[in-house]
Structure 1
């Protein structure tokens, strides 16, 4: 591997305090990339998909459905932002295996500074290799960092113009969600945008239906938030809501979830344990909640007050 394409190495940012949930979440993602691709598809997108069902004239892969969803969010962000989006510094909070950072680099070719934050070193290592292979080493910084430590990211005096936060707050207890939004309020420039995707629940505080049967809850799915609470925290920290809608549709989310379950059962006929088993079981429970209108996948564009 040439020096130009050598992997982007993550910088470790860690406060003195520790997060007790971090180890569980990190362990949940520690399968090898080939295993995850059998479940999620080649691009390793782990946040819903848009199928346009039943309009699509052919089967739509997980990769295509996931890419459609992210592109649709970026289109909505450009359409609803108060000012034209021309970011000079972008943050992908919970950047996963790197697809969205690569797509952001393509979508905003003039942006000189792309940053990804994650708590999984293995995901960041794959992300660093992927982005280097696509010639993005000079534009990209990766940080092994918990969301509670966002204020420790370098160059606090150079704000972020765009932050992507997809499927991240799903795993956060309320205290961490509130803390991370407050930190983003300090890091995002006036007029800067947040592009958010998250699963929100009607009557979240009163709901007792189990999403998972795993008492260890490796993906921390028990931290349910209502749309009202989620938006209130954003507004209290100086973010205005420019667009908020159910996207993908509940039918598309159920389709996506059950495709993951099918992939697990097809590729691992002898059964799975741990995080993959939680996904397999949660896919059914969450699909039912979606189709019954008890939960929804929300796409949100929030904007930092000028």
Structure 2
């Protein structure tokens, strides 16, 4: 991964016309040329797969066009999710930065570190990843030399210059779910399952649609988060500079699952992604008189961007 001192080295080498050295990206090696393809080990560990998905910005939502050609999606993502994306290509949240060659260049400035790997048994596992990137939502990144360069070298020089002038970064803690398939471990985005739970037509809360469950009260313990990532900005919301409160109502079941979510206070470009992320949370359930119970839980989520 490239840190600020390395970015300056890259800039000096490129401006001097020298060949850039190799740089480590995640668990693979990427050379200075954007055309070269790194070698890939025949078997990837859970941590390696999570790092690759993070490095090329396929988290928390997979956009297959961002994956370099030397990685086949079927080696990283389960077939059910890939089939769903082929049937519903519009579900991939592409942005104005999804241009030929640009995502591969942006990935050089992303840092991903595996924090934890958990095997739940029964063919289920999860990997926690810390994802750090420059603030791509800054409109100053939309420069001709970056979005429509005359050459890959011009783009990389412009990106290095932009990062040196804009060193601020944003960090997210992400959780990648995995499922053991006949072909081995694959990332499980649960796309067809989540579409059934939360169709693209966002469900707004009303008296009739709110979760029917006991509200927290005396003698009850509150649910406690065990796994999953709290909702974060979508790239579309960041670029539109959406800010404010989003409020969702969900039922946390006696098994610790998040069900029947609806939105009572929406925010543009965030509702569907938030519902999907909330549905992936797993809790230690609330209890009453020592027994786990279903409860209604209100998620008050404040989204704010740096000034």
Indicate the TM-score class for this superposition, using the shorter chain for normalisation. under 0.3
Higher relative contact order (CA 8 A, sep 6+): 1
More helix by share: 1
Q: TM-score, normalised by structure 1?
A: 0.25
Q: TM-score, normalised by structure 2?
A: 0.25
